[in-house]
Amino acid sequence: MADTTPETGPDAAAGTIYLADYTPPGWLIDKVELTFRLAPMATRVLSRIAFRPNPVAPEQPFFLHGEDLKLISAKIDGAEIAPDVTEKGLTCVVPARAFIFEAEVEIAPEGNTLLEGLYMSGDMYCTQCEAEGFRRITYYPDRPDVMAPFRVRIEGDAPVLLSNGNPAGEGPGWAEWDDPWPKPSYLFALVAGDLKAHSASFTTASGRDVALNVWVREADLGKCAFAMDSLIASMRWDEEVYGREYDLDIFNIVAVGDFNSGAMENKGLNIFNSKLVLASPETATDSDFEQVESVIAHEYFHNWTGNRITCRDWFQLSLKEGLTVFRDQCFTSDLRSAAVKRIEDAQIMRSMQFREDAGPLAHPVRPESFVEINNFYTRTVYEKGAEVIQMLHRLVGPEAYRKALDLYFERHDGEAATVEDWLRVFEDTTGRDLGQFKRWYRQAGTPRLKVSERYENGTYSLTLRQETPPTLGQPDKLPLHMPVAVGLLSPNGDEALPTQVLELTEAEQTFTFDGLGARPIPSILRGFSAPVIVERKSTAAEEAFLLAHDTDPFNRWEAGQALARRLLTDMIHDDAPSAHVYLGALGQVLAEPGLDPAFRALLLGLPGEDDLAAAEAAAGRKADPARIRAAREALKGQIAAMHGRALQRVYEENQVDGPYAPDAGQAGRRKLASAALALLTRQDGGAAARAQFAAADNMTLSIGALSALLSIGEGAAELATFEERWSDDALVMDMWFSMQVTHSAPEKAAETVERLTEHPAFTPKNPNRLRSVVGALAGNPAGFHAADGSGYRLLADWIIRMDKTNPQISARLSTAFQTWRRYGEARQKLIQAELARVAEAEGLSRDLGEMVGRMRGAA
């Protein structure tokens, strides 16, 4: 009977689920009532679910998902039944009309190491249901297109008992919650524990009062204010910019110490990795504060983009994630610096998403098949998905965008929607045909934008040619509809043509510009207007010119990066490197007084080791991580030697007086001072950094000083002081651990990880701690790719080990191997051997099996 459900259908052997196989659910749900009797090893879950046949669905057997559940009893319309139970779920015969299904099951949150479903973090109960965790709580059609109102009763000893929706009564040992808004099961949440609230209230634009709480352990109450401020700012912003109001009487956020990912948007009860809630000047860095702000916003924004309008199936994941990332990016650029935010987002795309698109894990923004959906919470679905919406926004303009969004909310509120629904609201409001644009959702791989140009008698013509390289299963790519923002500069540095958005739709198109007095210097892909790689023959002189004169901050920064990349590439290959153009240009930037410090800090940054490895591979060479490291270090030394005095001045001028604030202004100055300090350290042996560490009264300054010291092999005494001071603060200790790994000398990196895993404060059960030690290895490319294979071996050992308890984590760790093709034959062989060893591990999880299969399959 169960064999027409996707999990056990015709593709059961491969275990692959296909978008093309989508069928509507056979039954819909009018109401869900749940009772939890909490006990660590034997929680009882009683469910009462009102089903009715779905009139538009094809005939199908009645199937409810359920995994690792002990079924105590099941009833239909009050009469006991004996359903057919497998390890995937339950089937039974049901009447051809509406009926009530009831079940009682037993689960063991204490033994749940997956951190999915109902589990315990310390002595607190909590849940994580996205994507398919609810089936570990009770029998249910655990798919996002089944939406229902929930009523929940929790019985347990804990002082605080929370679930979704509005409070509906409480007494000693129990609480009830009522969520009137129909929702899919992945948005269900429950929390029970000894928690304290940092509370506030919010009055919506239409005058409704909403109670706001950030729930934490008592000891953390002093670290909640910033998260609360961020929540209030997010609520206001969504009203002002999207016209979206909050829709319940209460909004709860809970901080949890053990969490697989960042945070989760459960309706009215967001659950957060404590790292993304708790922040105080003493314990969190400026960048931690900024992350808290943006993730609080992200999860809040999901209330409309994800919850009120959800996804029809998991292939549509980017419908909520791409859109919500785009929304949180806009929020951050409104609150902080738009230029800096755009550059940072482009950096993430280029270092994290392009790598995915260029390797064996490449997949479209809307994948067409998967084995384990948890493996598709990727940079492609999230960040490239957001870039696709950024392009749409640019193509239709802000007013049409807002109109389209209004229509989206009006048309699809309360529904489980698709990418087609999303694009249709844009077509209906603008009259545009987005058929070609839709290819961005279907085609994997990073398009190349090849630029050539001509200048004759005042007329300049720009020929743009696009080409997307083949990816696995997609040998032939079609041209995309691409907004290319372009500006032209006169040789004297003036802007000859302000930014224009060229719409590229053909494989090749030529655009001409008349009336120019001289051959202009083009500024292509301003604002990173499309997630593509620009290929254009340019010169160091031209890059230096753009670094000095471009009015577009993104391209100005990009010109500096290109210049540095050019030099570093020569250094890597001993190819007569000549540093004077780059160093000269950098000197001018350092001296430019009016420039935003945060932007200046970005200009001062060299392309990362991983980006240089990607650039090597893109140029058809094999990347050598050791030489890349050496070249970057050498260039840092040269910068420090040549600009020591200017750096010293920048360092001094950007000290912040007065009380610490995590705002963009102060944070930018600290970032610039810290970038200067890291370079100065190469001249003064660490004297300034030691002084800063000793005097620091906030974590940004402490970490800045400590990492500057570690980067030159110093700082042992400071590390010890730091450890002693912070040994009882888990989040701060995570930084202590990870810093040592990322700054370790390459030949010692694996050894450092091994030593730290033996530290008494190390525990692999806590995902943050595991990521800060084992996960941090990939953040030290020269160390991870050590020629003797020690990094690979160590990571594979941990992947195999973690897979037995937490497959989501092991699968995620394995992605460090996805770039294997970039490296020389010796490294490739070492990696393949480790992947083979992982593939043969006993009891390999579906999560890890899929990842390793994909990475090996492309061998």
Cα Rg of the chain, angstroms: 27
250 binds ligand TRP (CB under 6 A): no
Shortest Å distance, C-beta 390 to Zn ion = 16
CB nearer to ligand TRP: give 296 or 830: 296
**What backbone phi and psi angles, to 5 degrees, belong to 215?**
-95, 125
What is the identity of the amino acid at 459?
Answer: T
Is 513:459 a contact under the CB 8 Å cutoff?
yes
CB nearer to Zn ion: give 324 or 378: 324
Shortest Å distance, C-beta 298 to Zn ion = 6
**Binding-site member from 286, 299, 453, 734 for ligand TRP (CB under 6 A):** 299
Cα 841 to Cα 444, 736, 795, 828: the distances in Å are 30, 32, 14, 20
**What backbone phi and psi angles, to 5 degrees, belong to 210?**
-120, 130
The torsion region of residue 476 among left (phi > 0), alpha (psi -120 to 50) and beta comes to: beta
Token pair belonging to 23: 């069928």
Q: Omega before 42 cis (within 30°)? A: no
Shortest Å distance, C-beta 329 to Zn ion = 12
**Binding-site member from 38, 103, 131, 395 for ligand TRP (CB under 6 A):** 131
CB nearer to Zn ion: give 311 or 773: 311
CB nearer to ligand TRP: give 186 or 651: 186
Which of Zn ion, ligand TRP, none lies near 405, with the C-beta cut-off 5 to 8 A by kind? none
Beta strands across the sheet bearing 84-85: 63-65, 89-91, 84-85
Q: What gap in Å lies between CA 127 and CA 510, rounded to an integer?
A: 55
| Structure letter (DSSP) for residue 194 | S
**Judged by CB under 6 A, which stretch of 126-134, 204-212, 429-437, 480-488 contacts ligand TRP?**
126-134
Shortest Å distance, C-beta 130 to Zn ion = 9
Cα 843 to Cα 801, 839, 850: the distances in Å are 11, 10, 13
Which residue, among 285, 294, 309, 209, has the nearest Cα to 249 in the 3D structure?
A: 209
Token pair belonging to 770: 């595991």
CB nearer to ligand TRP: give 296 or 706: 296
**Chain center to CA of 104:** 37
**Binding-site member from 220, 265, 550, 611 for ligand TRP (CB under 6 A):** 265
CB nearer to Zn ion: give 326 or 823: 326
Which of Zn ion, ligand TRP, none lies near 430, with the C-beta cut-off 5 to 8 A by kind? none
Shortest Å distance, C-beta 320 to Zn ion = 7
| DSSP per position, 376-429 | G-SHIIIIIHHHHHHHHHHHH-HHHHHHHHHHHHHHHTTSEE-HHHHHHHHHHH
Instruction: Please report, for the chain, how many H helices and E strands are present, in that order.
Output: 28, 31
261 binds ligand TRP (CB under 6 A): yes
Please give, one letter per residue, the 3-state secondary structure of 341-368.
HHHHHHHHHHHHHHHHHCCCCCCCCCCC
Which of Zn ion, ligand TRP, none lies near 443, with the C-beta cut-off 5 to 8 A by kind? none
Shortest Å distance, C-beta 435 to ligand TRP = 29
CB nearer to ligand TRP: give 752 or 768: 768
Alpha helices (runs of H) in 471-608, residue ranges in sequence order = 540-549, 553-572, 580-591, 597-604
509 binds ligand TRP (CB under 6 A): no
**Judged by CB under 5 A, which stretch of 246-254, 315-323, 797-805, 807-815 contacts Zn ion?**
315-323
Which of Zn ion, ligand TRP, none lies near 558, with the C-beta cut-off 5 to 8 A by kind? none
Identify any residues that bridge with 215 across adjacent strands, giving them in sequence order: 197, 254
Which residues of 289-352 form beta strands (DSSP E)? 310-311
Shortest Å distance, C-beta 320 to ligand TRP = 8
Judging by DSSP bridges, how do beta strands 43-53 and 27-37 pair with one another? antiparallel
377 binds ligand TRP (CB under 6 A): yes
**Judged by CB under 6 A, which stretch of 206-214, 257-265, 498-506, 541-549 contacts ligand TRP?**
257-265
**Binding-site member from 128, 353, 698, 707 for ligand TRP (CB under 6 A):** 128
Candidates 67, 299, 356, 616; catalytic one = 299
Shortest Å distance, C-beta 193 to ligand TRP = 19
**Binding-site member from 185, 234, 260, 529 for ligand TRP (CB under 6 A):** 260
Which residue, among 34, 35, 26, has the nearest Cα to 98 in the 3D structure?
A: 26
**Judged by CB under 6 A, which stretch of 101-109, 158-166, 262-270, 576-584 contacts ligand TRP?**
262-270
**Binding-site member from 76, 256, 264, 585 for ligand TRP (CB under 6 A):** 264
Is 376:317 a contact under the CB 8 Å cutoff?
yes
Which of ligand TRP, Zn ion, none lies near 610, with the C-beta cut-off 5 to 8 A by kind? none
Cα 192 to Cα 366, 514, 640: the distances in Å are 36, 68, 54
Please work out, in degrees rounded to the nearest 5, the angle formed at the alpha carbon of residue 298 by the alpha carbons of 293 and 303. 130
**Binding-site member from 305, 374, 443, 561 for ligand TRP (CB under 6 A):** 374
Residues 581-640 contacting ligand TRP, CB under 6 A: none
Residues 321-340 contacting Zn ion, CB under 5 A: 321, 324
Q: What gap in Å lies between CA 108 and CA 44, rounded to an integer?
A: 9
CB nearer to Zn ion: give 251 or 660: 251
Q: What gap in Å lies between CA 508 and CA 450, rounded to an integer?
A: 9
Residue 218: active-site member: no
CB nearer to ligand TRP: give 101 or 377: 377
113 binds ligand TRP (CB under 6 A): no
Residues 279-298 contacting ligand TRP, CB under 6 A: 298
Size of the site for Zn ion (CB under 5 A): 2
Shortest Å distance, C-beta 307 to ligand TRP = 10
CB nearer to ligand TRP: give 237 or 382: 382
**Binding-site member from 67, 102, 130, 345 for ligand TRP (CB under 6 A):** 130
**Judged by CB under 5 A, which stretch of 171-179, 319-327, 491-499, 505-513 contacts Zn ion?**
319-327
Is 822:614 a contact under the CB 8 Å cutoff?
yes
**What backbone phi and psi angles, to 5 degrees, belong to 682?**
-75, -10
Size of the site for ligand TRP (CB under 6 A): 14
**Chain center to CA of 36:** 32
CB nearer to ligand TRP: give 261 or 474: 261
Is the dihedral angle over the CA atoms 790, 791, 792, 797 positive or is it negative?
positive
**Could you give the 3-state DSSP secondary structure of residue 206?**
coil
Which of ligand TRP, Zn ion, none lies near 845, with the C-beta cut-off 5 to 8 A by kind? none
CB nearer to ligand TRP: give 320 or 526: 320
Token pair belonging to 328: 């949180």
Shortest Å distance, C-beta 388 to ligand TRP = 17
**Other C-beta atoms within 10 Å of 341: how many?**
21
| DSSP per position, 455-486 | EETTEEEEEEEEE---BTTB---PPP-EEEEE
Which of ligand TRP, Zn ion, none lies near 374, with the C-beta cut-off 5 to 8 A by kind? ligand TRP
CB nearer to ligand TRP: give 321 or 610: 321
**Judged by CB under 6 A, which stretch of 128-136, 638-646, 753-761, 779-787 contacts ligand TRP?**
128-136
**Could you give the 3-state DSSP secondary structure of residue 126?**
strand
Shortest Å distance, C-beta 422 to ligand TRP = 17
Footprint of Zn ion (CB under 5 A): 321, 324
Footprint of ligand TRP (CB under 6 A): 128, 130-131, 260-261, 263-265, 298-299, 302, 321, 374, 377
| Active site amino acids | 299
